[in-house]
Amino acid sequence: MQSLSRWRSRAGRRVVQAATVLALAVAIALSASAGTLQPLENVLQNAGFAMRSHAASGQIHVVEMDAASVAAIQRWPWDREHYARVVERLDEAGARTIAFDVDFSTASDREQDDRFAAALADANATVILPVFGQRGSFAEKRQLDSLPIPQLREHALLGSVSVSPASDGLVREMPIGTFNADAPRPSLSAQLAQRSGVADDDFPIDFSIQPDTLPRHSFIAVKMGEFDPATFAGKDVIIGATAIEMGDRYATPVHGVIPGVIIQALAAETLLDGVPVEIGWALPLLLAALFAYAIIAARSRNRILVQFGLGATLVFALLHFGASEFALRIAIAPALVMLIAAALLRWAILVREDFEEARLVDAESGMPNRRALERAAATHDRSRIVAAMIDEFDAVKLVIGQDAISDFLARLQDRLRVAGCEGPIYRIDDRALAWVSSLEPLELESRLLGMAAILRSPVEVRGSRVDIKLTFGIADVNAPDEALHAASQAARHGECFAYHEQAQKSALDQQLSLMGELEEAMEGDELSVLYQPKFDLRAERITSAEALIRWRHPVRGDLRPDIFIPLAEETNRIDELTLFVLRRVIDDVREWRKGGLEIRAAINISARLITSADFTARVESILLEDRVPADRLIFEITESATIGQFDLACSALRRFRDLGVGVSMDDYGTGQSTLSYLKRLPLTELKIDRSFVQHAHRDHADALLVSSTVELAHQLGLQVVAEGIEEEACLDFLREIGCDYAQGYFIARPMSADAFFDTAQTTIARAA
Ligand code: C2E
Ligand code: CA
Ligand code: CA
């Protein structure tokens, strides 16, 4: 039952956690789609570039139209023979590709153009000339191209070189190809790296390639042939302007403002590693959601950190190895935001829980405090609160010292637990502990008396022995102050406990309503009668039984007779109840007899019934129905019953005796009467109370009392029953001193009529 509800609350918690993660994921996915996370993504990607920063492959060389070249050639635009010369030089050196990032869209001097065209025509290397594209209008997808003049483009491939910065002005991407008026055209970098892809699909430039590791050569030096001829063999060369005054420069992430030709080279280098595939953010977000779930479920800050660390590492590893090993471009900002959000949320919840918990704990003792009690009380409606006030607490403090208070309170708690206090114990006040009790009032009262008794011996705290006295106050569950007040009232009057008025009233109400229900219980089948065997020590078998009533209450569960018998007595329902048991016992004995089992059955008769003429008459008329012989029955009465009105009691008992019923004195030893006094009562049996019997086999005083009682009782002609036998040694002892009957858990617990029949049959069979 309890584990089921624990399971339920665990399942409930899981649902809430999963829902939280889902909600976070949805919110993050929405803002990722809206582009809100792009700035963060850029920062993360830059970090990724920095992480895998590496040198260029060396395949792509840059021939820079640099300051030195500008200084050497001087006239701008340069005569095309310079370019022709460079092409020849590179071609001689065995370059594989020669690409220009230089605008040749307008004709120059005829001779110069012819010269350049001839060089292009003669080159063995693949020559690529640039097409500069511009968007026709803002909404236009197609480019308006400006092509090299026809004379030049005859001998060359064309590659588009448009560079389009993102909205923040930084160049991050490059197209694989662009659309011109009639056909898609590959970009210069795609041509150079010999990669193909979808035109108009941009790929991210890999800025982890360090631009300054690109092999670079001054244009003028190449033109003059001032280079090692082996340098360009099989290489791809881009020629373009790097001189500042030529103005072809763009801002990039990580590397700042760099010349367009370097960007082209980086783009080509990127494509050499493979065309990057963009994975987007959904997959890493999904992965992060798994870690976020673990974070949301974390019970400690350390676990949050561990799960967050694992998740973030995984996300960065994805970014890193995806890019370096598989040319994947993965967006991780949403995933990281997910992890951060989950961690912050969980952290905040734990901080709040700690704070809440601290609010519920008494700092000095570490016990739950009054606030905790008030919170707990909210979930108990039928219960009461018991406040236990420590008398002379200031004196106790003086004896043990302030430091030892929490030790003292811990000892005190131990004692209370031993005495049957269940559930949490709260410290609701400097000098008062409290707990919630759902016991029935009478049971609670007897529990409190027990506690007071157990507390009578001093507790030991750090070597000093401290006497404690507790006074209890009982109030409704939501009224700790009233419980405290009741406790101090009790202390003032020297009582062990007191009810607060309201609690007293509700206790009474509860009892009265219980009594109202008793009638229904008798009509329905909530009441039952169990039988506890009495073992005949001479015959070594079961010859009789004590009938014990049970009430299985539909709401409150099994109620012990200790709770409702006194109530039934107070509310004058005990006669009905006893007659109910009597009839049931007669039925059962009759059944047993039919089954061949001769058993005497004992019925408990309350003290106040003995002197009731009405009750006696009704018993008499039932017995006269003659369903079983009256001598099959024994009435058990307690001695208190006889003390008050001795003569009346005496004549009532005699009436029963005359009918043939046996009369047993129950709980003998707990009252004040002596055997000689009892001698004057018409008894057939004496039942020694279990408090004497239980330890008789090892307690000398008890042994003496029991054995002398047995002896004297025998002299008076009474049979002796010892009750409460819980150990074999005890049974042996009783046998030894000649006791007649034994009853107790060691022999058997109370059981149903059918079970009793079977048990009794077996012992008879065994004895025979
Ligand atoms: P009792 O007459 O002294 O009954 C014996 C009680 O001791 C029973 O508790 C029984 O279960 C318990 N007991 C038996 N063997 C052992 C043992 O070895 N160790 C211990 N610790 N206890 C043992 P139960 O049934 O809870 O009854 C409690 C009391 O309620 C009875 O005490 C009796 O006074 C009263 N009672 C029970 N049934 C009736 C009834 O039908 N009518 C009346 N008037 N009172 C009843
Ligand atoms: Ca009894
Ligand atoms: Ca008894």
Q: Are residues 351 and 421 in the same domain?
A: no
Q: Which amino acid is at 60?
A: I
Cβ(750) to ligand 1 under 6 A? yes
Cβ(581) to ligand 1 under 6 A? yes
Q: Are residues 517 and 603 in the same domain?
A: yes
State the pLDDT confidence band at 5, using cuts at 50, 70 and 90. low
Has residue 467 got a pLDDT over 80?
A: yes
- In ligand 1, the atom with minimum distance to the C-alpha of 746 is 18
State the pLDDT confidence band at 294, using cuts at 50, 70 and 90. very high
Cα torsion 197, 202, 204, 210: sign: positive
* Closest listed ligand to the CA of 583: 1
Q: Are residues 251 and 314 in the same domain?
A: no
Q: Is 538 part of a structural domain of the chain?
A: yes
Query: What is the greatest pairwise CA distance in the chain?
Result: 155
The Cα-based distances of 46 to 264, 273, 285, 642 in angstroms read: 19, 19, 19, 99
Has residue 3 got a pLDDT over 70?
A: no
**Closest CA to ligand 1's atom 3:** 667
Cβ(578) to ligand 1 under 6 A? yes
Torsion from C-alpha of 265, 266, 269, 274, nearest 10 degrees: -130
Has residue 402 got a pLDDT over 90?
A: no
At residue 607, the pLDDT reads 80
Q: Is 639 part of a structural domain of the chain?
A: yes
Q: Is 76 part of a structural domain of the chain?
A: yes
The percent of residues above 70 in pLDDT, for the chain, comes to 96
Q: Is 368 part of a structural domain of the chain?
A: no
**Closest CA to ligand 1's atom 21:** 724
Sequence-ordered strand ranges (E) for 606-655: 633-638
Q: Is 709 part of a structural domain of the chain?
A: yes
- For residues 289 and 378, the model is more confident at 289
Query: Ligand 1 center to residue 548 CA distance, Å?
Result: 6
State the pLDDT confidence band at 458, using cuts at 50, 70 and 90. confident
From the list 767, 285, 290, the residue with the least C-alpha distance to 543 is 767
Q: Are residues 226 and 209 in the same domain?
A: yes
Q: Concatenated DSSP letters for 34-61?
A: TTTTHHHHHHHHHHHHHHT-B---SSEE
The Cα-based distances of 88 to 114, 119, 261, 697 in angstroms read: 14, 6, 20, 122
* Closest listed ligand to the CA of 687: 3
**Where residue 735 sits, what CATH number does that domain have?**
3.20.20.450
Mean pLDDT (the chain, rounded): 89
Cβ(664) to ligand 1 under 6 A? no
pLDDT in tens, 327-350: 888 999 999 999 999 999 999 999
What are the structure tokens assigned to 721, written together?
């029953």
pLDDT in tens, 247-266: 788 999 889 999 999 999 99
- In ligand 1, the atom with minimum distance to the C-alpha of 605 is 44
Helix (H) or strand (E) holding 541: strand 541-553
CB 350 within 8 A of CB 300: yes
Q: Are residues 618 and 741 in the same domain?
A: yes
The last residue of one of the domains, among 503, 529, 549, is 503
The Cα-based distances of 655 to 659, 681, 687 in angstroms read: 6, 12, 21
At residue 1, the pLDDT reads 46
Has residue 305 got a pLDDT over 80?
A: yes
Q: Are residues 514 and 408 in the same domain?
A: no
Query: Ligand 3 center to residue 241 CA distance, Å?
Result: 114
The whole-angstrom separation of Cα 8 and Cα 29 is 31
Overall domain count for the chain: 4
Q: Are residues 684 and 741 in the same domain?
A: yes
Q: How many residues does the chain have?
A: 768
* Residue of 530, 542, 551, 604 best suited for mutating to test ligand 1, as the one with most atoms within 8 Å of CB: 604
CB 175 within 8 A of CB 201: yes
- Name residue, tokens 């009682």: 709
- In ligand 1, the atom with minimum distance to the C-alpha of 530 is 25
State the pLDDT confidence band at 645, using cuts at 50, 70 and 90. confident
Q: Are residues 116 and 167 in the same domain?
A: yes
Mean pLDDT, residues 605-627: 90
Burial (CB count within 10 angstroms: exposed 0-12, middle 13-18, buried 19+), residue 481: middle
Q: Is 164 part of a structural domain of the chain?
A: yes
The whole-angstrom separation of Cα 130 and Cα 163 is 12
At residue 181, the pLDDT reads 63
Cβ(486) to ligand 1 under 6 A? no
CB 753 within 8 A of CB 591: yes
Residue ranges making up the domain that contains 484: 385-503
Q: Which amino acid is at 501?
A: E
Q: Are residues 258 and 330 in the same domain?
A: no
At residue 764, the pLDDT reads 78
Q: Is 470 part of a structural domain of the chain?
A: yes
**Where residue 451 sits, what CATH number does that domain have?**
3.30.70.270
At residue 751, the pLDDT reads 96
Q: Are residues 425 and 524 in the same domain?
A: no
The whole-angstrom separation of Cα 418 and Cα 742 is 29
Q: Are residues 146 and 95 in the same domain?
A: yes
Q: Are residues 592 and 635 in the same domain?
A: yes
